[in-house]
Structure 1
């Protein structure tokens, strides 16, 4: 039996990932969309969230695929209306507002799922299992991509709350916090801000335990999403955003595609709903908040789409 779900925010990521994942899922029936501009053919569409909540009490689950800043108000309204809520990453604009939502869901007996799609990449679980009994000596993340390709014309990513390069960078941090056998904390950050923007376009991070990261949103051509971990018993490499695992240079697990991540998220949401549980892990977002707190600001060339 499928469960009705509504998708809020019909933009690029919704059309590229959420809609296909829901269409292929045995668990879900996409029963409505809410968006000021976008629609999904054949699916009832609402332009106003309050109208949706009033008109469709039969839809118990809402998936929010909106930019971080407006997301809290939608999640707050959904929870108050008794709906279970799934949050696109990052789960909010601030840590405090996500803590508030978590408490609201708990008090009402509702499911709240703060998703990290990169944790669902094909090789993340095998990487975590391989590292479990190893001593990590060094780890480095290289996460470089082209903002013009993934967020074409989306100025909100460079506005306060948009997170800048941490919008993709937090994907890497979600993997890092999942696979390392020992937690790390940020010790230093250097952040490059375009002269005409409010969020960073590049970041170099230093963590405890000899862990570092290089994020950049200006890479053209092939994109780079790599995590390399040196251990006492060999080298682990995660390629393709966590979807391909190499041990000592040899591919050992995973698939060279990112298309399995969102189906896995929706399967996880279905499991949470069946068991009456929530899943709200804010560890990746804590690292971003720390970077913005500790970060040395460097002004770089202006950036325009």
Structure 2
């Protein structure tokens, strides 16, 4: 039996996935602080047997519920998930896992204490395009990765941030990097593992009603010597997402594209159809997926439960995604390169560090904009403000 906490847009993706598995699960509870939203979802999908709640603590008293999807805003993920686990329920929480690494660590500690399952939504791992990309790189047919490009390009209008909790460091924990780029960052970690260093720039180009960034660009380096550029924004017309890796023998992308070159005696390239043919054989050997996206991930979670498995690495993967995001923010705030892993002494380890430095960065941006608009000199203000952030980093 399944319960869903939060009945906004993303809850429908979970609900449709559960409804696609009628012989293995049943949604019996919908919870939202606005019960009329939950009632509307119940009626839309004809969930006659589901009960509506306005308080998840009441819902969690039900002994028949064994799995809960947490589909609420990021600032509620910690309390909602830990309440579920302490009530003996398994949990699948939407991305990002939490607002800070400290919150992730608390969630994982409760998971271990209660011996429950804690999964973080990473639905893009469960698409054929991305599974092909990972399989081709894992096969080593193209050789090792030399360079990667990750592009998470979206379009969101100014009014997107009119919703009360969006665009604030306190409630969202950041802007496009944590809430949109998290998908591609998770895929990058899945394929490459965590980076060694992160150097990043943050900006707000078009959403002055948000404290947070609507654009970030980062360079990630890896122990293997590979370098990856990672760009996220909310200002791309014709939004799209892409991962591309240039390997020793070929370039491979998702959406699927393969191109291979070999060197002539003069060093200039010519096409290498033989390597492309080898990669095509690998691609053709990958079985087609019966299910994709949320449906595939939820089917996997239910299979774990049926077998009595916990799979703690699922929560660990969610934490690693947030660790890379945190490093991007720390680098952007301090204007310096950040090394991973991040410890408890990190500037942004907990929510207070994120709020303080994020709010300060937003204030600096507003002040600089005001000064620039008045035609005054920027250098002294920028130096003083950036210096304050650097001092915070060193404390």
TM-score (norm 1): 0.85
Task: Find the residue that maps to 1:96 and give its secondary structure.
Answer: helix
Coordinate RMSD, CA, aligned: 2.6
1:34-80 Cα deviation digits (max 9, x unpaired): 012322223321111112123x2211111100111012111121111
Higher helix share: 2
Question: Larger Cα Rg: Structure 1 or Structure 2?
Answer: 2
Q: Matches of residues 129-168 of structure 1 in structure 2 within 5 Å?
A: 129-132=135-138, 133=140, 134-148=143-157, 153-160=162-169, 161-162=171-172, 163-166=174-177, 167-168=179-180
Partner of 2:240: 224
Contact kept in structure 1, 2:144 and 2:248, CA below 8 Å: yes
TM-score normalised according to structure 2 size? 0.67
Tell me which residue corresponds to 1:267. Answer: 299
Q: Using the TM superposition, give the Cα deviation of residue 283 of structure 1 relative to its aligned residue in structure 2, in angstroms.
A: 1.7
Distance 2:158 2:191 in 1: 28
Which deviates further from its counterpart, 141-150 or 71-80? 141-150
Greater strand content: 1
Partner of 1:112 in structure 2? 118
Look up the match of 1:58.
64
Structure 2 unaligned blocks of 5 or more: 261-275, 336-360, 371-395
The CA deviation at 1:19 is 1.5
Q: State the match for 1:19 in structure 2.
A: 15
Partner of 1:247: 258
Measure the CA separation in 1 of the matches of 2:64 and 2:112.
21
128-137 or 223-232, which moves further after superposition?
128-137
Change in Cα spacing, 1:230 to 1:287, as seen in structure 2 (3 Å) is: same
**Matches of 1:150 and 1:114, distance apart in 2:** 28
Contact in 1 for aligned 2:194/2:324 (Cα 8 Å): no
Matched, 1:215 2:232: yes
Number of residue-to-residue matches in the alignment: 286
Matched, 1:191 2:202: yes
The answer to whether 1:276 aligns with 2:309 is yes
Which residue pairs with 2:330 in the alignment? 293
Tell me by how many angstroms 1:196 deviates: 4.1
CA-to-aligned-CA distance 1:223-248 (integer Å, 9 cap, x gap): 21011110011011112xxxxx2222
Instruction: Give the corresponding residue for 2:186.
Output: 174
Q: The residue matched to 1:233 in structure 2 has which SS?
A: coil
Q: Quote the Cα distance in structure 2 between the aligned partners of 1:271 and 1:149.
A: 42
> What residue ranges of structure 1 are gaps of 5+ in the alignment?
240-244
Q: CA deviation at 1:153?
A: 4.5
